[in-house]
Copies of this chain bind each other. A is one copy, B any other.
Amino acid sequence: MSWLDDVKWDAQGLVPAIAQEVGSNDVLMFAFMNREALECTAETGQAVYFSRSRQRLWHKGEESGHVQKVHELRLDCDHDVVLLKVEQLGHQPGIACHTGRHSCFFQRLEGGEWKSVEPVLKDPERIYK
């Protein structure tokens, strides 16, 4: 499939992927995809990443139930970064972060310190039970 060949995969065969929430436009998370993950994502309409720590495909939500329904796939000008526009399912409001927060980007630099500024929407012990 040529659209997969259009992506510039890095030396590890990966491409950075940014997940952005449809509607709010919030940036939810950042991960990597290999070719198979991107192909699976396009085919199933659900976000599939490549876990570098586990070295395997990672169907987002496979443990938490917090699946991402993909509305759009975008590629950047250099063909080496993917942007997913997703609907964050499984909880209202959506939880993308393993800490139980809406977004993984919950720490803000304030006065020379990173401070957590977003609430935990669900206890991770209840998410990963």
Chain A interface (Cβ < 8 Å from any Cβ of B): 1-3, 6, 16, 18, 20, 24-27, 29-30, 42, 72-78, 81, 83, 97-99, 101, 104-109, 112-114
Contact = CB atoms under 8 A, between A and B. Distances in A.
Given A77-B97, A97-B77, A99-B77, A72 B108 contact: yes
A1 B113 CA distance: 9
Contacts of A6: 114
Given A6-B114, A16-B16, A24-B25, A30 B75 contact: no
Give the 6 A-B residue pairs with the shortest CB-CB distance, closest first. A25-B25, A73-B109, A76-B104, A74-B105, A75-B107, A83-B105
Given A16-B30, A27-B83, A108-B72, A3 B113 contact: yes
A109 B3 contact: yes
A75 B3 contact: no
B78 A114 contact: no
A109 B27 contact: no
A91 B42 CA distance: 35
A98 B109 CA distance: 28
A27 B27 contact: yes
